[in-house]
Amino acid sequence: MSVEESWEKIERWIAQHAPEESQLPGPCTRENLERLYQRLGVRLPEDVERSLLQHDGSGLTDVLLGYTLLGIEDIIKHYETWLRYANPDDANLSATDVPYLVPVAEIGVLKMMVDTRTGGLGTGDIEQGYFQEKNPLYASLSIVLDFVGNLLASPPPWIVPLSAGGELEATNRHPDFPGTLVWTEDFI
């Protein structure tokens, strides 16, 4: 499925099941992307670019299994922080890797990073360091978007088993945030 089709499924779920959800940001422009590339010094993989051309981030909506997608301005801000503070003692990271890892989503201080050389996703934070995801779900942003789009297009419950045990469930019935997309985590 294309990035655009995945976004259509996610948008449909939000419209149907999460009417209280904040509106997703509109698309970025090609000019915004070129400005981003000038600041980064690297190009994002095509699927990340296509996602930004659909929605310049996801605002406050936790689209990707609890992560919010970053828009261009936040990508620049978090990338600059990453370059400044990436841990030089991180066993999972060489200094030559750092400029190729770009934050594209976040849960608080934890960033989902895309390796601009391979398109693979990992996680990083300044204190805990970088971790390349081994789960095939994180081979690219388009695979994660495809998974989420198909999950939300299926009948409820919308459950994702976690490799470390437990599960995530997409719900629109969270007591604190009714009518919005919330990913709850339960461990078995």
| List of domains in the chain | 3-155 (3.40.1580.10)
The band of 88, judged by pLDDT with boundaries at 50, 70 and 90, is low
Average pLDDT, the chain: 92
3-state SS assignment for residue 165: coil
> Residue 135 has what pLDDT?
86
The band of 188, judged by pLDDT with boundaries at 50, 70 and 90, is very low
pLDDT > 80? residue 92:
no
> Residue 93 has what pLDDT?
78
Model pTM score: 0.93
The band of 74, judged by pLDDT with boundaries at 50, 70 and 90, is very high
Rounded Cα distance between 98 and 79, Å, is 10
Average pLDDT over residues 167-181: 91
Give me the residue label for tokens 């300044």: 126
> Residue 94 has what pLDDT?
81
Nearest to 129 by CA among 162, 85, 164: 85
3-state SS assignment for residue 75: helix
> Which DSSP helix (H) or strand (E) runs through 38?
helix 30-40
Give me the residue label for tokens 């976004």: 7
Residue 117 DSSP class: T
Q: Which two tokens stand for residue 27?
A: 């698309």
The band of 101, judged by pLDDT with boundaries at 50, 70 and 90, is very high
